[in-house]
Amino acid sequence: MNHLAHNGGRYLAAPCCVLLLVALAMAVPAQAEIALRFAAWHDTGGHSLRGITDLLDGFQARNPNVRVNYNAEDWAQARIRLKYWFGSHSQYAPDVTILPDVWLAAYADQLVSLEGALKDKETSGLVPAVLNRCRVSGRLVGIPWIVRSRALYYRTDLLEAAKLKPPKTLVELQAAATALTKTPDAYGLGLPGRPGGGVLEAFLDLLAAHGGQPLDKDGKLQLQSKEAEAALAFWQALHRERVLEPEVLSWGELELQEAFARGQLAVLIAGPELHQRLRKVAPALKFGVTALPTGGDPALPISVEVLVALRNTQQPEATTRFLRFMACDEAQRAMTLMGGLPVAEAYYQRVRGDVDVAPFVTGLERARGLPMAQAEPAARIVERALWLCLSGRATPAEALKISSDEEDRRIF
């Protein structure tokens, strides 16, 4: 805006999807072939084309008269493509695509409603809190594609050498990050500061760790709170102490993950996709994963990529069949092999106690995300406030007030 499966405490590669989907193959009478166009995005979950191909093969084995043509589109062009698909170039629109959950409200009128098309029993196998991220005003408009949360990655060798345990609280996190900073060769903690590079997600993690949330009692965006000030102050203090990576405001999540893989960061906040990536690009790196500090709040912050059908599809029945297939337990389990959290209830219950999986799913039953219509305003406020703080132009309280006031005056 991740790759989980259980096998002796390790993550499986995406090609294993085909093994899970063999059981879905069913013989049906030959019919005229129907072609569906599925447009996804280059960096959606970072999953391999092979994994998606195996998944689509599983669907076609069950539906031999339907061929799904997968097209990888440029994520940077997503908004522009959607504008044309829903407007003057609707004839080029795909039948199905993927939208971040925070975009659903903006495009809900252009999407096929699954209310009535999918029966309750067909979606009852999914964790309800996750499925709720696929609803707009209570109406189901999609099926979970990739579901993400974040956890703390840490260098086990560095913590052991410093005689430290994996941090479980903010105090321990700050102490560990400070102790493990060895400038200019290594920094204790990585936090993204570049606009659009994961700033909002990192801030919400710190806000939750301080016991706060981004909404008031009426469900409206409220980022002027003692907890929000504490989250920014924590970030600012680490920056002043040079515990964070240099030039914080120019770093995004991807650059931080690359630095961690090179051994230049001791602790990092990231999703489960990093686990599998590190096994491939840095197999000698010694690291562990632990849950983020929650400040006593058991709810897990998540983000969901949602598989949706466009309302102007010429193949509504076949499209609904594809989304129904994606709601079944085995298809959802296959998605965990391509980067998602285990949200098929039966599979989730089996793996939730695994040491590699637990940091990412603790509290999944009460998972929540940012209200869909307020994600972009929140991102603007947080990114502006962080710049004001780290540049020394304002205190955390002043920065949040200035940024919130500017957002209130914004003309859309």
Instruction: Write the DSSP assignment of 211-276 as a string of letters.
Output: T--SB-TTS-B---SHHHHHHHHHHHHHHHTT-BPSSGGG--HHHHHHHHHTT-EEEEEE-THHHH
Question: Residue 412: its pLDDT value, please?
Answer: 54
CB atoms within 10 A of CB 8: 7
pTM above 0.85, yes or no: no
Q: Residue ranges of the domains in the chain?
A: 14-148+303-366, 151-299+371-409
Three-state DSSP at 327 gives coil
Q: Is the dihedral of CA 68, 71, 72, 78 positive or negative?
A: negative
Q: What is the per-residue pLDDT across 81-123, written as a single tens digit (0 to 9) for each?
A: 999 998 888 888 999 999 999 999 999 999 999 998 898 899 9
Q: Yes or no: say if 314 and 92 are a contact pair by the CB < 8 Å rule.
A: no
For residue 10, give both structure tokens: 């390790």
Q: What is the per-residue pLDDT across 56-71, written as a single tens digit (0 to 9) for each?
A: 888 999 999 999 999 8
Greater confidence, 185 or 233?
A: 233
pLDDT band for 337, please (50, 70, 90 cuts).
confident
Question: Residue 395: its pLDDT value, please?
Answer: 97
Question: Residue 50: its pLDDT value, please?
Answer: 61
Least confident of 123-127, 188-192, 401-405: 123-127
Question: Residue 10: its pLDDT value, please?
Answer: 36
If you average pLDDT over every residue of the chain, what do you get? 86
Greater confidence, 306 or 220?
A: 306
Q: Yes or no: say if 150 and 321 are a contact pair by the CB < 8 Å rule.
A: no
Per cent of the chain over pLDDT 70 is: 89
pLDDT band for 2, please (50, 70, 90 cuts).
very low
**Residue ranges with strand state E in 11-87:** 34-41, 66-73
Q: Residue 47 above 80 pLDDT?
A: no
- Burial (CB < 10 A; 0-12, 13-18, 19+), residue 217, is exposed
The fold adopted by the segment(s) 14-148+303-366 is D-Maltodextrin-Binding Protein; domain 2 (3.40.190)
∠9-300-52 over CA atoms, to 5°? 55
CB atoms within 10 A of CB 342: 27
CATH topology match: 14-148+303-366 vs 151-299+371-409? yes
Question: Residue 324: its pLDDT value, please?
Answer: 94
Q: Residue 38 above 90 pLDDT?
A: yes
- Is the domain defined by 151-299+371-409 classed in CATH 2.40.30.10? no
Least confident of 126-130, 231-235, 309-313, 356-360: 356-360
Q: What is the per-residue pLDDT across 342-387, written as a single tens digit (0 to 9) for each?
A: 898 888 888 888 888 889 988 888 888 877 778 889 999 999 999 9
CB atoms within 10 A of CB 336: 28
Q: Residue 4 above 50 pLDDT?
A: no
User: Phi first, then psi: what are they for 113, rounded to 5°?
Assistant: -80, 135
